Amino acid sequence: MAEIPESAISEKFLAGTGPGGQNVNKVATACQLRVDVFALGLAPDAYRRLKTLAGSRMTSAGELVILARSFRTQEANRADARARLNELVDAALVRPERRIKTRPSKAAKAKRVDSKKARSAVKAGRGRVRGSD
């Protein structure tokens, strides 16, 4: 798990949206987390993966914006936002395994061609029968 410096994170609490009655109208419980991605000190390839994973949550200024508003309390939404940030950064730090190119053997190619020929012969035999009238 990557350690994210507090100096790179800024929090802002907003009024939540959707159903919730008076609580949602009065209390600013939704947490907007803004993270300066450059302050994380990620390797270039990890930064590229993070940018891809974040999608529209990444701004052109290099800030990652995470909005958490699932819960009724600020603390729960803050914890949710930080957990999601950690998951995103951890996923970006995982280097994908390199694919090893393989090619079919000569025998496999020959077998494939033979089966195609056999199938072709079966289909050719399905044609209209011509009578010798």
Nearest to 30 by CA among 85, 79, 64, 73: 73
Report the pLDDT value the prediction gives residue 10, as an integer from 0 to 100: 85
Report the pLDDT value the prediction gives residue 74, as an integer from 0 to 100: 86
Cα–Cα dist 28/72, whole Å = 9
Report the pLDDT value the prediction gives residue 29, as an integer from 0 to 100: 84
CATH pick for 6-93 out of 3.40.50.300, 3.30.160.20, 1.10.3720.10, 3.40.50.10440: 3.30.160.20
Q: Which residues, including other chains, have CB under 8 Å from residue 14's CB and lie 6 or more apart?
A: 28, 30, 31, 32, 67, 69
User: Biggest alpha carbon distance in the chain?
Assistant: 94
Report the pLDDT value the prediction gives residue 88, as an integer from 0 to 100: 92
Asked if residue 63 lies in contact with residue 9, where contact means CB atoms within 8 angstroms, the answer is no
Report the pLDDT value the prediction gives residue 19, as an integer from 0 to 100: 65
> Which residue is associated with the tokens 């390839």?
45
Report the pLDDT value the prediction gives residue 91, as an integer from 0 to 100: 92
Tens place of pLDDT per residue across the chain (133 aa): 667 777 788 888 888 776 667 766 778 888 999 998 888 888 889 999 999 999 898 988 888 999 988 888 889 999 999 999 999 999 999 999 999 999 999 999 999 999 999 999 999 889 777 776 5
pTM over 0.85: no
Q: What number of other Cβ atoms are within 10 A of residue 70's Cβ?
A: 12
